[in-house]
């Protein structure tokens, strides 16, 4: 049992020490992972955005729950854009992601920061603040899509 625990601890240590891309055995897995994360982000952001836009009645608790989930998921997809994950499954990631990786990271960090502000706004329950934060989150999604998402999967 002790040996097993030591082995487990060293594997866990290794996993955190390795670059995130090395946590996927195959490019397909990284592509599926990031696509799944973006799909979930769209669902959870969409629920808050619909309230901000008056398309569904505002429910502060539901907004806060969805923003909280979004705040966690928004940090996930960017571990799955490692080198060599441009191909393996049809996907819409443009080559610029890897050519200008610092700019891509800045855009991702910007979105993550705006999502954190949306999460804080929903916790305050102030609809005007939520509306403003939904706007800036949406802009940060769009900025990345405009620069880094192809029209068609290649
Ligand atoms: C959404 C969603 C996106 C963004 C983007 C904002 O609700 O799924 O990808 O907002 O459309 O421009």
- The boundaries of the domain holding residue 129 are 27-148
14 has pLDDT over 70: no
Mean pLDDT of the chain: 91
In a domain, 138, yes or no: yes
The per-residue pLDDT for range 90-101, each reduced to its tens digit, is: 999 999 999 999
Which pLDDT belongs to residue 89? Answer: 97
Q: Which residues line ligand 1 (CB under 6 A)?
A: 42, 45-46, 49, 138, 141-142
143, part of any domain: yes
Q: Is 40 a member of any domain? A: yes
The closest residue, in CA terms, to atom 12 on ligand 1 is 142
CATH number at residue 144: 1.20.120.10
**Residue 154: inside a domain, yes or no?**
no
Please give the full DSSP string across 1-52, using - where no structure is assigned.
Answer: -HHHHHHHHHHHHHHHHS-GGGG-SSHHHHHHHHHHHHHHHHHHHHHHHHHH
Name the residue with the closest Cα to ligand 1, atom 10: 138
Is position 10 within any domain?
no
Q: Residue 135 pLDDT > 80, yes or no?
A: yes
pLDDT (tens digit per residue) in 54-81: 999 999 999 999 999 999 999 999 999 9
Distance 15 CA to ligand 1 centre (A): 32
Q: Tell me, in angstroms, the distance from the centre of ligand 1 to residue 87's CA.
A: 24
Tally of domains within the chain: 1
Q: Is residue 1 part of a domain?
A: no
Would you say residue 46 has pLDDT above 70?
Answer: yes
Q: Is residue 4 a part of any domain in this protein?
A: no
Q: Is residue 55 part of a domain?
A: yes
């Amino acid at each position: 049992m002790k040996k097993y625990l030591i082995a487990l601890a060293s594997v866990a240590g290794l996993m955190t020490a390795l670059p995130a891309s090395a946590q996927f055995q195959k490019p397909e897995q990284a592509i599926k992972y990031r696509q799944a994360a973006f799909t979930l982000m769209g669902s959870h952001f969409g629920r808050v955005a619909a309230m901000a836009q008056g398309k569904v009645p505002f429910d502060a608790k539901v907004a806060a729950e969805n923003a909280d989930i979004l705040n966690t998921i928004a940090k996930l997809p960017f571990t799955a854009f490692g080198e060599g994950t441009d191909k393996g499954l049809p996907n819409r990631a443009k080559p610029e992601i890897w050519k200008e990786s610092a700019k891509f990271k800045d855009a991702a960090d910007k979105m993550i920061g705006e999502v954190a502000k949306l999460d804080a706004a929903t916790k305050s329950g102030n609809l005007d603040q939520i509306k403003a934060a939904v706007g800036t989150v949406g802009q940060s999604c769009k900025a990345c899509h405009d620069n880094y998402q192809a029209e068609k999967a290649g």
